[in-house]
Amino acid sequence: MSSVQRMSSGTSDKEQMTTLLEKIRALLGLYCVLSIISTRQSRRNPLDIPNMETYLKIVSQAQATPSDHSIEYVVRFVQMGERLSRSFGEPHERTLLSPYAVLLEGTGSRFRNDLSRLAESVPNGNVETYGQTFELYRLYLLVRLFEPAIIVACHPEEGVPQFVYLLTCLSNCLDAMQSFFDILLGSPVDLLLRRSILTHDQILYVMLQAAKLLLVEIPDWDTKSIRQTLDLTNILDQMVSCYEEATRLRRAAVKRVVFSTLEEESPNEMTSMLKLIKEIRWLKCWLESRFNGSWREVGEETYQDALKPTWSLGLLEEMPWKI
């Protein structure tokens, strides 16, 4: 912290400032990576500390490289995700209804307003770099915000306070999911390989929450109409096609870089992306079986070339396959 203070007071020379900015950028990047890992493991981000705001302001004010402006917004959006995690309370203290209280108490409305203001402040730069990527992340955070409503709707036996408001939350979540998939599927496939803020985990999270939402059956929620509005099985097919094309692009890029290597990548090698494709296929099979009224366990042998997902399951880590 002392080195930061020296830089801020103008006593550091150019070389020291450059070195310090590089260290701060690395720290901010680590903060974002740990946020992804912590969310996946239902833990607090160990770098979610007040000093991060100081470091972020230093990079933002310095604007020493063209990417510094992007770094600021990447971290700002990740901070919103951290804020949402804190509002839902400690993972080990959560119950079925406790996260839903965040929506009832107005915390959710304040979060949406702040998130909208942040999104509106993003400069009108390159569409692929700014508009689409940050808008996708904003929609992902909205799905996370409304996940407690999905949890409550999937457990009507718990008793739901303010039932009309629950329907509103579910509708808002549906809208966010539709917009998310529309933008994602309308983006160039190669962006799946190089988005700096939206991870495969987060894309899969939205898919899984969408599957849960389409299985909700409560009064005044037109399940049949909702499934027609959000044609998730078709979306999953399109996602498989996108990831297959992204896999071909990645392999082509690898060949261009290492064309002189003696050993080429096997087309049957189980890469992370191929595993992802198999898991999406399994999710589609599972969802279709639920639509058809079958509640038996779906094994990997049920659907050719499929693999049961091992994804992060959301706030309560409940097994959605048994919904």
The per-residue pLDDT for range 10-34, each reduced to its tens digit, is: 554 788 888 889 999 999 999 999 9
Question: Residues 6 or more apart from 173 whose CB is under 8 A from it?
Answer: 142, 143, 146, 147, 149, 150, 209, 213
Per residue, the 3-state secondary structure of 71-90, as one string, reads: HHHHHHHHHHHHHHHHHCCC
Give yes or no for a contact between 75 and 28, defined as CB atoms under 8 angstroms apart. Answer: yes
- Asked if residue 139 lies in contact with residue 183, where contact means CB atoms within 8 angstroms, the answer is yes
Of residues 313 and 310, more confidently modeled: 310
Q: Distance of alpha carbon 305 from its chain centroid, rounded?
A: 25
User: What is the C-alpha end-to-end distance of the chain, expressed in Å?
Assistant: 49
Buried b (16+ CB within 10 A) or exposed e, 61-83: ebeeeeebbbbbbbbbbbbbbbb
CA distance 191 to 193: 5
Q: DSSP readout, 239-278? A: HHHHHHHHHHHHHHHHHHHSTT-SSPPPTT---HHHHHHH
Higher pLDDT, 32 or 67: 32
How do residues 131-165 score in pLDDT, each as one tens digit? 788 999 999 999 999 999 998 898 877 776 667 88
The per-residue pLDDT for 300 is 52
> Over 70: is that where the pLDDT of 6 sits?
no
From the CB of residue 127, how many other CB atoms can be counted at a distance below 10 Å?
Answer: 11
Confidence label for 126 from pLDDT (cuts 50, 70 and 90): low
Q: How confident is the model at residue 318 (pLDDT cuts 50, 70, 90)?
A: low
pLDDT value of residue 206: 94
| Residue 295, pLDDT above cutoff 90 | no
Where does the pLDDT of residue 317 fall: very low under 50, low under 70, confident under 90, or very high at 90 and above?
low
pLDDT value of position 161: 62
Would the pLDDT of 261 be above 60?
Answer: no
Residue 321's pLDDT is what?
Answer: 45
> For residues 207 and 236, is the Cβ–Cβ distance under 8 A?
yes
Report the C-alpha gap between 238 and 68 in whole angstroms. Answer: 34
Closest CA to 62 of 2, 123, 8: 8
40-44, 71-75, 86-90, 152-156, range with greatest mean pLDDT = 71-75
Q: Which DSSP state fits 230?
A: S
Q: 38, 44 in Cβ contact below 8 A?
A: yes
How much is the pLDDT for 298?
56
Compute the average pLDDT of residues 169-194: 92
Alpha carbons 64 and 18: distance in angstroms, whole number: 8
Mean pLDDT of the region 69-91: 87
For residue 150, give every residue at least 6 positions away whose Cβ sits within 8 Å of its Cβ, in sequence order, or none: 170, 173, 209, 212, 213, 216
Nearest CA among 278, 163, 154 for reference residue 214: 154
Report how far residue 276's alpha carbon sits from residue 27's, in angstroms, rounded to the nearest whole number: 29
pLDDT digits (tens, 9 = 90+) for 185-218: 998 888 888 777 788 888 989 999 999 999 998 8
Q: Which of 141, 27, 21 is nearest to 82 (CA)?
A: 141
CA gyration radius, the chain: 22
